[in-house]
Amino acid sequence: MQQVLYGLHTKHASLRFNFTQVVDLVEGNRVGPDQKGEICVKTNTMMIGYLNNEEATKNFYDSEGFAKMGDVGYHDKLGKIFFVVRIKEMIK
C-alpha cells in the first residue's frame, strides 16, 4: 500500500496533505509512479460529509476514507503529486 506524504505541486501553488494517493480512473486501484489517475487525499481536518446529502458524501469518499478530488494527476518516485487536469474538463 503506497501512500505519499508530500503534497500537491502545480505552477501556482503547493499544498500539503497528510496522505495522498493516485488511483486508476476506472478500477479505483492505486497506480505507480508517473502513471496518471485521480488524486485522492486524506487529512486530519476533513469534512464529515455533505449536509443532508448521503449520496454526495458516499461518492466523495472511497472505501478507505480518501476524498476524491476530481483531478487527474500523478506522483513521482519521491512521492510528489502533480496536477494535470480536472476530470470534468476531460469529459467536455
How many domains is the chain partitioned into structurally?
1
Q: Is residue 2 part of a domain?
A: no
- Residue 38 class from Cβ within 10 Å (0-12 exposed, 13-18 middle, 19+ buried)? buried
Nearest CA among 48, 56, 46, 60 for reference residue 17: 46
The per-residue pLDDT for range 17-75, each reduced to its tens digit, is: 578 899 999 999 999 999 999 999 988 888 889 999 999 999 999 989 999 999 999 99
Q: What is the pLDDT of residue 91?
A: 64
Q: Is residue 67 part of a domain?
A: yes
Give the CATH number for residue 50.
2.30.38.10
Q: Is residue 1 part of a domain?
A: no
Q: Is residue 12 part of a domain?
A: yes
Q: Which domain holds residue 87?
A: 7-91
Q: Is residue 55 part of a domain?
A: yes
Q: Is residue 66 part of a domain?
A: yes
